[in-house]
Amino acid sequence: MSANVDRHWRSFKWAAWLGWQIESNWTEPWLFAIYSVIKPVAGAFILVLMYVVFAAIGTGGNFTDPAGLARFNFIYIGNAFFIFVGNTLFGTFQVIQADREWYQTLRYVYISPISYYTYIVGRAFTKISIATFAVLITLAFGVAFLHIRVDLALEEVPAFLAALVLGALCLVGIGVSLSALSFLTARHVRGLAEGVPGIFYLFCGVLFPLSILPEWGQALGKAIPLTYWFEILRRILMPPAMLTEIATTSPTTLESFGLVEVLVLLLVSATLFLVLSVGLFRLMEWLARRAGKLDMTTAY
């Protein structure tokens, strides 16, 4: 038992270290820090400019309209936490393709005495850590320069952290499940990296309240646990007056769910996704070995 735990811990630890080296050792630390800041801030600024265009046309240039500001706050916070989604998913399902096709090292890593499943999780951990930094930077930038209001009371911190961890576990489960598919698919990581987060971006109410979507889109959104994750994070972080403004003009349709209900839902979802990821990983690994696809290259 202990040897097994040791093996998983060793796999996780060295995979995370390897991930960090791949992410950061191509340059100086200061350049890496700038690189890590520019991407999320640029992503946030896209939303700022979209809001500027709307305000110029839709409100006659009134940038302080309360409804508009509440919507902008809603979008900004959702977008900031979406960095976790993009990074965690890309961090997990790029591992197999990167090792197999870019570095052509999968065969060596695979035959080494580690758990390859835990290895993928370890590699993803690096991305989650970098995403945490990017989320903090984005939120701090918004508060400092863009009139974003974050209202986190001390007694809400445990719920916030619990939601954050459960959401991250959900994402790792989804990420490893998709990563397992890439055992059999060709070099589609980039399409997956854009597309799968795109599903969550569109249907989970990241950038707009769910009521904006058509009925079928709302139903789909409500079936994805991450929708509730974004809802609860915003409910904890946004000022109540802004939440009321959103609920009046464009409700999220999730207002009836309580904090505990959402946390339980996230716990169950995270467990299910992690179990699914183990099963799918084993199945795809077996199929890839049988088809001789473990070290195929498909780049052209």
Partner 1 sequence: MTTTVNPVTLNLRAVWGRAYVRIVGANREPSWIFFDGILPLLGIAAYVFIYEGFFRGISTPEARAALNALVGFVVLGGVMIAFWMNVLWSMASQLYWEKEMGNLQLYMMAPMSRLALLGGMAIGGIFMTSVRALVTLIAGIYVFGVHFTLANPLLLLAVFFVTLIALYGMGMMFASLYLLWGREAYHMSALLEEPIFLVSGFYFPIGAFPQVGAWGRAIAIGGSIIPATLGLDALRQILFPATTASFQFLDVQTELLLLVVLAVVFLILARHTLGYMEMLARREGRLTARHQ
| Residues making contact with partner 1 (CB under 8 A) | 26-27, 35, 38-40, 42-43, 45-54, 56-58, 68, 71, 75, 102-104, 185-186, 188, 190-192, 194-199, 201-202, 206-209, 212-213, 249-250, 297-300
Report, in Å, the least distance between residue 295 CB and partner 1.
13
> Whole-number minimum distance, CB 199 to partner 1, in Å?
5
Name which of 50 and 275 has its Cβ closer to partner 1: 50
Exposed (0-12), middle (13-18) or buried (19+): which is 119, by Cβ within 10 Å?
A: buried
Residue 142 and residue 70 in contact, taking contact as beta carbons nearer than 8 Å? no
Of residues 36 and 115, the one with the C-beta less far from partner 1: 36
Minimal distance, residue 250 CB to partner 1, in Å: 6
Q: Which is nearer to partner 1, 9 or 26 (CB)?
A: 26
Nearest approach in angstroms of CB 173 to partner 1 is 20
CA angle 38, 24, 103 (to 5 degrees): 115
CB of 85 to partner 1, least distance (A): 12
| Two tokens, residue 163 | 């939601």
Output 213 or 247, the one with its CB closest to partner 1. Answer: 213
Per-residue CA distances from 133 to 69, 81, 114, 140, 217 (Å): 25, 11, 29, 11, 32
Identity of the residue, 42 or 260, whose beta carbon is nearer to partner 1 in the bound complex: 42
Shortest CB 44 distance to partner 1, Å: 9
CA angle, residues 289, 272, 223, in degrees to nearest 5 = 115
201 touches 82 (CB < 8 A): yes
Q: Give start and end residues of each alpha helix (H) in 94-186.
A: 95-97, 106-111, 116-145, 157-181
Estimate the crossing angle of helix 225-237 against helix 66-93, to 10 degrees: 130
CB of 127 to partner 1, least distance (A): 12
CB atoms inside a 10 Å sphere around CB 144: 9
- Looking at this protein, which amino acid is placed at residue 144? A
Strand, helix or coil for residue 198: helix
Token pair of 132, please? 């945490």
Nearer to partner 1, 70 or 172 (CB): 70
Q: Which is nearer to partner 1, 117 or 141 (CB)?
A: 141
Structure tokens at 207: 């950038």
Contact 159, 236 (CB under 8 A): yes
